[in-house]
Amino acid sequence: MRRRFLSIFLVIILICLTISSIYADSIYIVKKGDVLWKIAEEGKTTWHELTKINNLKNPHQIYPGQVLKLKDGVTDSNKDISELDMYIGEGKGCYGTIQVGVSLEGDKIKDILILEHNESPGVGEIATKIIAEEIIKHQSIAVDAVAGCTKSSSGVLAAVEQALGKAGVNINDYWKEVDKSITQIRGKIEKKADVIVIGAGGAGLAAAVSAHQNGAKVLVLEKMPLVGGNTIISGAAYNAVDPKRQSALGIEDSIEKHYTQTYEGGDKLAKPELVRTLVEKAYPALEWLESMGMKFKDDIFTVLGALWPRSHNPVKPIGTGYIETYMEYINKHSSDIEIMLSTKATELIVENGRVVGAEAENPENIVIAKANNGVIIATGGFGANINARNHYNKMWPDLTNLKTTNRPGATGDGMWMAENIGANLIGMEQIQLLPTGEPNTGSLSGSIGHSVEDRMFVNKDGNRFIDEGAKRDVMTKALFQQRDSWMWIIVDKKSYPTGDTKNNFDETIDFLVEEGIAFKADTLEELAVKIGVDPINLVKSVETFNKAVEKEIEDPFGRTLFKNKIDTAPYYAGARTPTVHHTMGGIEINTKAQVLDKDGKVIKGLYAAGEATGGIHGSNRLGGNAVPDTVVFGKIAGESAAKDNPNL
């Protein structure tokens, strides 16, 4: 009841804000491409003041259609509130109910306010606002979902449809087909910066920040409508040898051990100098993030396939902490760093043997972006490109129907652009599959596993079949040998002491059980019945597992990473299947992140970082090594490009 009252109260306040929009000197309605500091400048105030007045949690996350007060104490107009109608609707998003308020002016949708939601910060949350903007723009609920955010988009669309139904209008009038044709000739604009970064994921934003810290003005081109890439939806584990946290927990580790496990874990196919750079600079790069305000938990764990407890977990959920840290910095320096969203780079510009820029396109313009110093490719891998992964795949069954953990933007664009001007691509056949994909979507979300030490896997017969602490490729190959390539993760109360305990993807165990993603039972026998496995086999598998934890026996599968027995109710199970996760191959670089041609020579003016590159992980990437890869080499690329003087 209290929550409903709060929602109604919120609606009234937001209606008042909408009405007050006639006072142009008192409020501002955000338009596409706006940034807070520019709005503040035009309103003769500061972005700090606007943040305070509007209670903005993330000043860099303003969105088109958002109403901002420019002055404190703005009064409402004399217009009668009853002249405006707002109707409430609800739809199911990715993580629960999305509630919207739809205001009409006659039959026209005037405004859509997102009143309540539990969508992922920086991902689904942004998608809800983009969809609302598109509905208003086209006066239609037949708009396309935001790529990679289908459930969040569908939740808003369903909520708006329900609200329109309550308004008593003819719903069919709002199901009109959206005209996607280009009705105007696109313009042509030129942009210039010291450093051009292609891609606004983890590696690209790290490069942008680093380049600016080294004196460069930066332009970032991102083809998707929102920043973050795969980093923002990742499990966020960050491997680094940490003298403070690991020592406090009694964990013995070393740079040499991390190097050996990474190099040998990739079957010694990586470039040793790149592996050395990664492991030696991982912790300094973590400290760099901390210097910009990012927070990590003190606990160290072993993420799936990490082989050793050196995985760090950010305080903020999934990969949002990394992206918010970069964007906080970028927002503070937005006069020197520009991000162009929905702007796809199509080719590199080469003059006199040097890369001097990139050509890109968006719905409005062809963009010619020129770089004074250098261009950085940080466009990610090709895990979402079915044709590319089938073309290069040599070690897995056909990947056509296999889902992926990747966002739709991971199509390998940067690799092909680099290859077209002579860059060397290496290790392209090395494609990583995970055994822990959500069966319906292929995503990482929904997994009930926390740390490797406290979980076990069983097949559809209730039997264990693999060392759960093995390399990812080893586990996935073993899973393909099981019936329907299907397994269950089994944990107990020690992993989820309370119903509101969250997994690594910011989902509570109660939510996962309510949604039918996870199953809960007071006994192993009851759990077995719920998930359809043989109760005798499941009980026996857990008993054997527990004996290995107690070191009464050697584990039948050679597992050595253990912590707790599985012996405390309630017990939980969650289904998982193979999914395409990471592409280890890509653009060949050196330790300065300079791109190399087929003869091993540096291509002047061109750099690359993140999953767009190859040679760092070999045939198999260790779990928890991807994020430090983006930070370490993104930071290096930014610094190298900023310091690249073409006149020397």
Q: Catalytic residues, which ones?
A: 472
Residue with the two structure tokens 């959920």: 317
Closest CA to 623 of 455, 406, 470: 470
User: Is residue 462 within 8 Å of residue 530, measured between CB atoms?
Assistant: no
- Please classify residue 96 by burial: count the beta carbons closer than 10 Å to its beta carbon, then call 0-12 exposed, 13-18 middle and 19+ buried: middle
Q: Which residue(s) pair with 24 in the sheet?
A: none
User: Is residue 375 within 8 Å of residue 357, measured between CB atoms?
Assistant: yes
Sign of CA dihedral 471, 477, 483, 484: positive
Q: Cα 182 vs. chain centroid, distance in angstroms?
A: 30
Q: Phi then psi for 509, rounded to 5 degrees?
A: -65, -35
With H, G, I as helix, E, B as strand and everything else as coil, classify residue 419: helix
DSSP 95: T
**What dihedral angle (degrees, nearest 10) is formed by the CA atoms of 269, 274, 275, 276?**
140
Is the backbone of residue 628 left (phi > 0), alpha (psi -120 to 50) or beta? alpha
Rounded CA separation 471/453 (Å): 14
With H, G, I as helix, E, B as strand and everything else as coil, classify residue 621: coil
Give whole-number Cα distances, 367 to 12, 302, 371, 540, in Å.
43, 44, 13, 63
With H, G, I as helix, E, B as strand and everything else as coil, classify residue 153: helix
User: Is residue 337 within 8 Å of residue 352, measured between CB atoms?
Assistant: no
Decide the pairing of beta strands 187-198 and 85-93.
unpaired
Sign of CA dihedral 239, 244, 248, 253: positive
Rounded CA separation 560/467 (Å): 8
Residue with the two structure tokens 């995985």: 311
User: Is residue 366 within 8 Å of residue 359, measured between CB atoms?
Assistant: yes
Residues 6+ apart with CB under 8 A from 345: 198, 221, 223, 358, 359, 360, 369, 379, 413, 414, 417
Starting at the edge strand found earlier in the chain, the sheet holding 311-314 runs 238-239, 311-314, 296-301
DSSP H or E run through 53: helix 47-53
Q: CA 320, 323, 327: angle at the middle one, nearest 5?
A: 130
Rounded CA separation 568/34 (Å): 53
- Cis before 570 (ω within 30): yes
